[in-house]
Amino acid sequence: MTDSGHLYEHPDRNLALELVRATEAAAIRAQPFIGKGDKNAADGAAVDAMRKFLGTVDFDGVIVIGEGEKDKAPMLFNGEHVGTGRGPACDIAVDPIDGTSLTAAGRQNAISMLAASDRGTMLDASSVFYMNKIVTDADGIGVIDIDRPIGDNIRALAKAKGKDVGDIRVAVLDRPRHQQLIEDIRAAGAGTRLMLDGDVAGGINAARYGTRIDMCVGIGGSPEGVATACAIKALGGFIQTRLAPKDDDERQKGIDAGLDIDKLFEADDLVAGDNTFFVATGVTDGGLVAGVKRLGPIIRTESIVLRSHSGTIRRIEADHLVSKWL
């Protein structure tokens, strides 16, 4: 029997379809703060809403990647248990707003996101804040190598896709540390899509078919890399990363936490197993999902829901009565 036949004959619970209520709630509560210049107020409202809704879900979640250490984050801190405690035991990565500065400024590509996997499968890379990443769709498997020059990777991906190098588009965070990388991408003949923030959405768009992004590269947050891997496994895409400690002290901190600083991490190293979930709801409009909008008596949200076990990608558009929320 094929996998699809097996899934049809023995359907099971898709936890992500319940978790999406938590990202919807975070996005809705952040909506009044879009463009108001106060990223902390937006984040605080989103954190509070996400935590409340996670508490209604029948699962035993432990936050591996959250808002920070317990003494610095009053809610959704690393190690916190969420859910009712009944049901599957899961590791959780949360970011009530990936792109708080984008939200405060009213710029595009802010999302509320949550990723989950079976207990003990998610890499805790919180001791090293940054990692170098490269993400593509399935065409990059066996073709891309993060240790090769970016020009070589661009040419190899173009060949695998049957495209001209000039038609390749590479997403990269617009940061001073990426100046040489951006120059090298353009020198190879490819085009760049510079992101102000939010490389999770950039990575997912690189792995999805039918987008304008072919590759996402550069140094970004380690927590975001692990969350992205949960989505990449559902999309059948390609991801490689290497930790990028900012100094010797952080390198030692990572070693003390049990991390192999020199290891090349692939999808299965970042999150093991074949049961990963990723959900995201738009806070502001972006290439991945539309932002939350107030339309008279309703608030409209758009979410994307990914699950690796079933290989499904769902888009959920929901209308919520304003009177119930704000």
Any binding-site annotation on 209? no
- Single-letter code of the amino acid located at 71: D
Question: For residues 200 and 223, is the Cβ–Cβ distance under 8 A?
Answer: no
Of 106, 87, 103, give the one whose Cα is nearest residue 19: 87
Any binding-site annotation on 245? no
What does the CA dihedral 86, 91, 93, 94 come to, rounded to 10 degrees? Answer: 10
Any binding-site annotation on 198? yes
Any binding-site annotation on 95? yes
Q: Report how far Cα 72 is from the mean position of its chain's Cα atoms.
A: 22
Angle among Cα 207, 210, 211 to the nearest 5 degrees reads 65
Any binding-site annotation on 100? yes
Q: Which distant-in-sequence residues (6+ apart) come within 8 Å of 308 by Cβ?
A: 230, 233, 234, 274, 275, 276, 277
Distance CA 306, CA 111 (A): 15
- For every residue of 45-97, DSSP letters joined together read HHHHHHHHHHTTSSSEEEEEESSS-TTT-SSS-TT-EES-S-S-EEEEEEEEE
Any binding-site annotation on 130? yes
Any binding-site annotation on 269? no
Of 66, 47, 193, 60, give the one whose Cα is nearest residue 119: 60
- Single-letter code of the amino acid located at 90: C
Question: For residues 278 and 306, is the Cβ–Cβ distance under 8 A?
Answer: yes
Any binding-site annotation on 99? yes
Joined together, the tokens standing for residue 173 give 């965070």
- For every residue of 264-316, DSSP letters joined together read PEEHHHHB-SS--EEEEEESS--SSSPPPEEETTEEEEEEEEEETTTTEEEEE
Any binding-site annotation on 274? no
Any binding-site annotation on 24? no
Question: For residues 115 and 276, is the Cβ–Cβ distance under 8 A?
Answer: yes
Any binding-site annotation on 282? no
Binding-site residue ranges:
43, 67, 95, 98-100, 130, 175-177, 197-199, 221, 224
Binding-site residue ranges for Mn(2+):
43, 67, 95, 98, 224
Binding-site residue ranges for substrate:
98-100, 130, 175-177, 197-199, 221
